[in-house]
Amino acid sequence: MNELGVEPSVTRWNDGEARFLDWTIDGVALCSMLSEPPQQQTPLFLDDDGWREAAVAALRRLLGELPGDFDDGRVALLVCPLCGDLGCGGYSVEVVFGDDVVEWRALGWQTDYEPFDDPDEYRFTGATFERKAYETLLGDLLSNYRA
């Protein structure tokens, strides 16, 4: 079983930077698991209240309360830090709920105008989380972003 968490992170580009909470799996930041550190970030901004609605929607998708971001049901974990538009592309994952576990499968690059077809999709093969701990963490984050 893997352990899901969050940790403060920052992404930078030519004109600025954004602070956000990055997902961690067994204490390792998701962004650092990718072959090239992405400029994308989670919608869990730390210093921009304009993203609260996006953060709430993302958390609800990861909890299975809303459909995925993409037509195939996949959920965006990392999105464009400037606009959050899925047309810019981002890293998505298949979220599968079992009775006692939640799995994140096949992390890969995806846009909203083409079907998922990342040749390197298995750079992150997946993680399995204890469902109660997963729902507690995401529920606590959801409460914080709704406040």
Q: According to the 3-state scheme, what is the secondary structure of the chain?
A: CECEEEEEEEEEECCEEEEEEEEEECCEEHHHHCCCCCCCECCCECCCHHHHHHHHHHHHHHCCCCCCCCCCCCEEEEECCCCCCCCCCEEEEEEEECCCEEEEEEEEEECCCCCCCCCCHHHEEEEEEEHHHHHHHHHHHHHHHHC
Structural domains of the chain, count: 1
User: Which structural domain range is residue 10 located in?
Assistant: 4-146
Average pLDDT, the chain: 90
Of 82, 66, 70, give the one whose Cα is nearest residue 20.
Answer: 82
Give the predicted TM-score (pTM) of the model.
0.92
Confidence class for position 4, pLDDT limits 50, 70, 90: very high
Question: pLDDT for 114-137, tens place per residue?
Answer: 888 876 655 667 899 999 999 999
Q: Does 82 have pLDDT greater than 90?
A: no
One-letter amino acid identity for 47?
D
For β-strands 101-110 and 124-130, DSSP reports them as antiparallel
For residues 64 and 95, the answer to whether their CB atoms sit within 8 Å is yes
Rounded Cα gap, residues 116 and 109, in angstroms: 8
